[in-house]
Amino acid sequence: MSIETKKYPVGMHPALPPPSGSVGPLRWMRDNLFSSVSNTVLTLLGLYLVYIIVPPFIQWAFIDSVVYGAESRKECLAIMGEDRGACWSFVYRRWGQFVYGFYPIEERWRVNVAFILTFITIAVVLVEKLRANKPVLIVGILLPVVSFFLITGNSLFGLVDVPTNKMGGVLLTLIVGLSGIFVSLPISIMLALSRISKLPIFSIIATIFIEFIRGVPLITLLFIASTLLSYFLPAGSNFDLLLRVLIMVTIFSAAYIAEVIRGGLAAIPTGQYEAADALGLSYWQSMRLIILPQALKISIPGIVGSFIGLFKDTTLVVIIGLLDPLGIGMAAISTTAWAGLSTELYVFIGLFFFIFCFSMSRYSLYLEKKLQTGHNN
């Protein structure tokens, strides 16, 4: 063996590779999966669970499933024959309803354009490089106005009016979810600042508002929006239902986020406030330059948690008769053609919400990492 024969001066022997078994996947598995008897048992149990759940699910959802060519559950079953997989045909056949609700088919391009514009806006708001460019930022912030006119229609531009009750599905979820998120954030910052304000009028009003809204379930607010409000409004007035829902959802999430932000404000050491005062900054300057950047950074996980909650809460609108994707799906599986496909529906809707909520949570993690200035580790 060459290693044995070659002579090296003392202390000059080159490093040998580590013994096999102390590096690589084997070592990792021994350390992490089989380090003790109980860990070994848990690992095997976990593998067994994966084995009994994942292959049958893949078999059901992909291999044995039917997407095209069936116009009812019966036809689905006929195509499948003996192997019973998922019948996704109702999602395929009603794709338009899932995405646009009952929005007129010939006008749906407007929604598509609005989707693209909204995507651009989100990109501008979220990506720092785009946001740093003033003109791009202004265009990005103005695009939602264009989307609004695209979706609701405007005679000036020759767009047919589409009443809001025609909107449903993903479109409805995005309208309620995104406008709730974007409008409630500034409101909640104002509420949080008011609540800790030294001026009693601000703090009392903000406290009453927050505690009242937080003390009432969202579903109650939606009921008020859909039925009770009509008693207070003058007879014959037509205050759009979707708008009422938007207002309720926005103030509901604003109240929650305000408390999250107040938590962030409370976590800022008094020294920071005093330092801002000592620099001679005005109240708004100190808030904008010193306090809020730190407080909001601390509050990110809580704020995004509220946003995710708000996004999922949009399914509650089905109770007051607005059809979000879940409502559209429930209506689909209650027809004679598609009855009995509840498993498929829930898997599909679950996936839809998972994609949106998971993206939000990943973005918040990225934001936290980026804003990490190293004070706390």
Partner 1 sequence: MKKLLPIAVSLAALTAMNVSASTLEDVQARGVLKCGVSTGLAGFAAPNDSGQWEGLDVDLCRAVAAAVLGDSEKVEYVPLTSKVRFEVLKSGEIDVLSRVTTWTFTRDASLGLNFAGVNYYDGQGFMVPKALGVTSAKDLDGASICIQTGTTTELNAAEYFKLNGMTYEPVPVETSAEGRSNYIAGRCDVYTTDASALAAQRSVFEDPTAHVVLPEIISKEPLGPVVRHGDDQWLDIVKWSHNVMLNAEELNITSKNLDERGANDKDPAAQGLLGTNEAKLGAMLGLDKKWAYNIIKQVGNYSESFERNVGKETALKLDRGLNALWTNGGIQYAPPLK
Residues in contact with partner 1 by CB under 8 A are: 71, 73, 77, 93-94, 96-97, 102, 105, 144-148, 152, 163, 165, 175, 179, 182-183, 223, 226-231, 233-241, 243, 246-247, 250, 318-321, 323, 327, 330-337, 339-340, 342
What residues does 47 pair with on adjacent strands?
A: none
Intra-chain end-to-end CA distance of the chain, in Å: 50
CB closer to partner 1 out of 188 and 294: 188
Residue 101 DSSP one-character state: B
CB closer to partner 1 out of 239 and 284: 239
Rounded CA separation 296/261 (Å): 6
Report the nearest approach of partner 1 to the CB of residue 102 (Å): 5
In three state form, how does the secondary structure of 28-93 look? HHHHHCCCCHHHHHHHHHHHHHHHHHHHHHHHHHHHCCECCCCCCHHHHHHHHCCCCCCECHHHHH
Rounded CA separation 4/11 (Å): 15
Helix ranges (H only) for 197-240 are 200-214, 218-223, 229-232
CB closer to partner 1 out of 97 and 173: 97
Report the nearest approach of partner 1 to the CB of residue 334 (Å): 3
In three state form, how does the secondary structure of 157-197 look? HCCCCCCHHHECHHHHHHHHHHHHHHHHHHHHHHHHHHHCC
Would you tell me how many other CB atoms lie within 10 Å of the CB of residue 219?
Answer: 13
CB closer to partner 1 out of 130 and 330: 330
CB closer to partner 1 out of 241 and 258: 241
Angle (nearest 5°) at CA 315 between 312 and 317: 135
Report the nearest approach of partner 1 to the CB of residue 233 (Å): 7
Query: Contact, 96 vs 79, CB < 8 A?
Result: no
CB closer to partner 1 out of 339 and 371: 339
Report the nearest approach of partner 1 to the CB of residue 147 (Å): 5
Report the nearest approach of partner 1 to the CB of residue 249 (Å): 10
Rounded CA separation 193/206 (Å): 9
Rounded CA separation 121/126 (Å): 9
CB closer to partner 1 out of 29 and 78: 78
Report the nearest approach of partner 1 to the CB of residue 137 (Å): 16
Report the nearest approach of partner 1 to the CB of residue 278 (Å): 37
Report the nearest approach of partner 1 to the CB of residue 312 (Å): 19
Query: Contact, 176 vs 317, CB < 8 A?
Result: yes
CB closer to partner 1 out of 255 and 290: 255
